[in-house]
Amino acid sequence: MQLFNSRVVPRLLQSPNKINTLCSKKSISVVSHKLNLLDIEKKWKKEWAKQSPFPANESGKKKYVLSMFPYPSGSLHMGHVRVYTISDTLSRYYRMKGFNVIHPMGWDAFGLPAENAAIEHHISPKSWTKSNIEKMKHQFEYMNVHFDWDREIVTCDPSYYKWGQYLFTQLFRKGLAYQADALVNWDPVDCTVLANEQVDSQGRSWRSGAVVEKKNLCQWFFKTSDYSERLLKDLEELYAWPEKVKKMQQNWIGKSEGLEIQFKTDQKYTLDVYTTRPETIFGSAFIGLSKSHPLVQSEAQKYENLSTFLKSDDANSDGFELPIVAYNPLTAAPIPVYYAPYVVNEHGTGAVMGVPMHDLRDFTFATENGIPFPPTNVVLPLKSEMINNESPYTGNGVMSEISGEYSGMKNKEAAKAISKYLQSRGIARFVTKYRLRDWLVSRQRFWGTPIPIVHCDSCGAVPVPEHELPVQLPELTDIYGKGSSPLTNLESWVKTNCPQCKKPARRETDTMDTFVDSSWYFFRFLDPKNKNLPFDPKKVEKEMPVDIYIGGIEHSILHLLYSRFLSKVMHDIGLWKNDSLNNEPFTRLITQGMVHGPTYVSQSTGRILKPSQVEKILGKFVNTANPDDEVELCYFKMSKSKHNGVDPISTILRWGSDVTRAHLLFSAPVDGVLQWDSTGIVGAERWLLRLATCVESIQQMDQPDVSSSSEMNDKTLELLEQSHDYMVACAKNYENIFSLNVIISDSMKLTITIYNCLKDNASPKGALKTSAEVLIRCIAPIVPCISSELWNHLGHKDSVYTSWPSMQKPTITKKRVSVPVQINGKWRFQMNIPSDSLSENLVMKTVLAHPDAHRWLKDKKVVRAIIKPKVVSLVVK
């Protein structure tokens, strides 16, 4: 294959091949040949289809590199290309380093889009999903990512979901999967239940955007709450996770330690409040109850105006005073009791003691509802100027005069003493609360793993026995209607017999949340074809935990928390063990940043314009339809609605996968936002072409490959030194992962150095070749095709991936140093002297031989010479 245009390459070789430092610096013009990167790619893809470029390495140390598997939507987007380029690059690097790399890929194939597409187009979700998988696999080929396809998993395949069902029955038997009535989030558009986490802060569905309603339905749960403490504590094991992700998990689990205190009332009830600040009890001005607090509910039965009030708009911050008086257990002061909308049902006891002087929410509520409270602090800041009566004081300090026998104590000590006292009276207890709720796993949808339960009138919920698994989804080509799963209407599927008493019974028609499928797939990757167990514990114990897990920051909470939970549960059930990391599944987590696309925003309307509606005039973007309307170029997350998506496949078809990969990695650190700039991609291409030019020129030098250090001038030594340091830095940056972009900028620098050395025609072939070889091998993980091609060009028959480069640091770091020469205290000229020889004799010889010496010395005599490493000073007369 003709890879170089022969018209151009010889130009670089016109200068004599003999090493001659004195030869005139012949400059070469920038070589503008056309190396066909796309042809090179075709060639190597064909080659690798026949034979893998990676040396077999069963005995190497394992390295499990995992990127989050995708939902098969049908097309890879830039975010996918980014994450899979990172994992592919790392897996290639570790292969070169001699590791036995596991780099699997599969499909998170259940879920709503397939079902919605099926409803819309009357096709089966199975065939829709299957054809999407085919398309995306093809796109992976374009990207040139190398996965262990023999480990491929498709979660909608019965051979996979059988084991999800098996896990469900195991959890059920341990009491970790249970059914309960729950006030659930109901998405009225998608007609399904959502987990709390799938409802955003404005109460809208994460998927359809509809305002979520509350419905009381019988649902399946996993008892994640049993694992709250372990999930929290074991975050400490995860030293190689980003701090911010650990913090998010910690907040999600939301541990809070406090006191439950009983308040007596003027009626038969007592009210338990939950507080983390018991010492502020002296300032409690009211009791606030949540909407579903039993007292609020029972009062609503009695008073119609309360029940109407409760049904009114949720956004209302008004409270409702109940006809009940509570008594402060320490001071016996009577305090009013309110329904308070800001008190949430799920936290604590759903009842708070409101302390307006020390808590902002209490302050706002009391002020807005006209609840009286004296403007006196219970806790005084140590510096009195910090008191501001406009807002509550939430810090620490000393107990004020209104706190009786506790006044003068530090508030934390007072809190302890008060807790102790209230406990001794039997009206308080210490409690630890977690925000983490049980995981609602059932969904009223068709396209998911059927929950393997049979409902029997006599035996209740009975798990399907293992030998009857999988409970297979029926083949449906037409999914009509929403609301309940189409399974409910399929009598033939629903009707069955009870596994226990054999009487007629009904199958559960809910399917599992797809987060269940994605919470253990990385175990199955290690033993994907096992027919007897979800996985062989021996294999898993050898290869878990995942060494590097790469994925989007948007999965920082749920997916990772659920995966951690199931890993621990599977350990407790006895399916695997890994004590070194407390059964945590992921040693290191890399969260890659978003990809943002160029977005054109009209300055006059604020609307987003399509690129075709924008033109650049005199360096400014304007709206084509209205040239007075200036347009600002911004970067936002790529999306259809913003007209800023860039199709990765057409980019690859135009520039080739090597160039696309290099540009992607170069444009931002791994965890940073990547602003996709299509105009910049040419820089990556230029770099690779320049490197190719250098290699070709080196190869055509008519010299032996090996050169001894005695032949080397400063420039060459510098080149070798730079190459060595570059190689060391590359390895560090690959291990660090976040700075893959630095590898490319360093590689560009080294390419320029090699190019300049060639231009200067001052370095021996051996040295240039060594540098080029180091460079090519260091970038092989990023640009597989061009590096393989150039490696061949340098005369190597083996694969570029055979090993990571090694080279000695040149022993003479620098042969000569530049030293200023002063004559009678004034700087006169610089001269080069050997750095290791400061003998007076040699230095003086060099000074006198210098072309400038004559001008300054003329016939004067040197009376004294002071020779220091950094300066030569002569006194002359």
Chain residues that interact with ligand ANZ, rule: CB under 6 A? 256, 258, 274-277, 280, 290, 343-344, 347-348, 350, 352-353, 355, 358-359, 433
Choosing from 501, 625, 849, 871, the residue that interacts with Zn ion (CB under 5 A) is 501
- Closest approach, Cβ 257 to ligand ANZ, in A, equals 8
Q: How far is CA 303 from the centre of its chain?
A: 52
Which residue number, 400 or 651, has a Cβ lying nearer to ligand ANZ?
Answer: 400
- Residues 350, 328: Cα–Cα separation, whole Å: 18
- Closest approach, Cβ 167 to Zn ion, in A, equals 23
Tokens 């009286």 map to which residue?
372
How many residues sit close enough to Zn ion to count as binding (CB under 5 A)?
A: 6
**Is 184 within 8 Å of 193 (Cβ atoms)?**
yes
Partner that binds at residue 688, options ligand ANZ, Zn ion, none, CB closer than 5 to 8 Å by kind: none
**Is 473 within 8 Å of 456 (Cβ atoms)?**
no
- Closest approach, Cβ 237 to ligand ANZ, in A, equals 25
Amino acid identity for residue 10 in this structure: P
Which residue number, 310 or 461, has a Cβ lying nearer to Zn ion?
Answer: 461
**Is 300 within 8 Å of 310 (Cβ atoms)?**
yes
Which residue number, 498 or 772, has a Cβ lying nearer to Zn ion?
Answer: 498
Q: Quick one: DSSP state of residue 155?
A: T
Partner that binds at residue 3, options Zn ion, ligand ANZ, none, CB closer than 5 to 8 Å by kind: none
Partner that binds at residue 784, options Zn ion, ligand ANZ, none, CB closer than 5 to 8 Å by kind: none
Q: Is 339 helix (H, G, I), strand (E, B) or coil?
A: strand
Residue 496 exposed, middle or buried by CB count within 10 Å (0-12, 13-18, 19+): middle
Binding of Zn ion by 20 (CB under 5 A) = no
Nearest to 637 by CA among 696, 597, 610, 680: 597
Q: Which region among 220-228, 480-488, 497-505, 799-807 touches Zn ion (by CB under 5 A)?
A: 497-505
Partner that binds at residue 341, options ligand ANZ, Zn ion, none, CB closer than 5 to 8 Å by kind: none
- Residues 846, 850: Cα–Cα separation, whole Å: 6
Nearest to 37 by CA among 692, 837, 834: 692
- Residues 714, 627: Cα–Cα separation, whole Å: 58
- Closest approach, Cβ 245 to ligand ANZ, in A, equals 21
The alpha-carbon radius of gyration of the chain (Å, integer) is 36
- Residues 175, 184: Cα–Cα separation, whole Å: 21
- Closest approach, Cβ 290 to ligand ANZ, in A, equals 6
- Closest approach, Cβ 394 to ligand ANZ, in A, equals 6
Partner that binds at residue 353, options ligand ANZ, Zn ion, none, CB closer than 5 to 8 Å by kind: ligand ANZ
Partner that binds at residue 500, options Zn ion, ligand ANZ, none, CB closer than 5 to 8 Å by kind: Zn ion
Q: Quick one: DSSP state of residue 684?
A: H
Which residue number, 451 or 665, has a Cβ lying nearer to Zn ion?
Answer: 451
Contacts of 667 (CB under 8 A, 6+ apart): 674, 675, 676, 677, 680, 741
CA angle, residues 742, 747, 752, in degrees to nearest 5: 130
- Closest approach, Cβ 337 to ligand ANZ, in A, equals 15
Q: Is 714 helix (H, G, I), strand (E, B) or coil?
A: helix
Q: Per CB under 5 A, which of residues 448..467 are in contact with Zn ion?
A: 456, 458-459
**Is 816 within 8 Å of 834 (Cβ atoms)?**
yes
Choosing from 73, 364, 500, 792, the residue that interacts with Zn ion (CB under 5 A) is 500
- Closest approach, Cβ 516 to ligand ANZ, in A, equals 29
Partner that binds at residue 211, options Zn ion, ligand ANZ, none, CB closer than 5 to 8 Å by kind: none
Which residue number, 231 or 498, has a Cβ lying nearer to Zn ion?
Answer: 498
- Closest approach, Cβ 364 to ligand ANZ, in A, equals 12
CA angle, residues 293, 295, 299, in degrees to nearest 5: 120
Which residue number, 498 or 516, has a Cβ lying nearer to Zn ion?
Answer: 498
Partner that binds at residue 347, options ligand ANZ, Zn ion, none, CB closer than 5 to 8 Å by kind: ligand ANZ
Partner that binds at residue 458, options ligand ANZ, Zn ion, none, CB closer than 5 to 8 Å by kind: Zn ion
Which residue number, 251 or 839, has a Cβ lying nearer to ligand ANZ?
Answer: 251
Nearest to 863 by CA among 827, 833, 828, 824: 824
Partner that binds at residue 246, options ligand ANZ, Zn ion, none, CB closer than 5 to 8 Å by kind: none
Which residue number, 82 or 507, has a Cβ lying nearer to Zn ion?
Answer: 507
Contacts of 579 (CB under 8 A, 6+ apart): none
Counting DSSP H helices and E strands in the chain, the numbers are 26, 35
Contacts with Zn ion by CB under 5 A lie at 456, 458-459, 498, 500-501
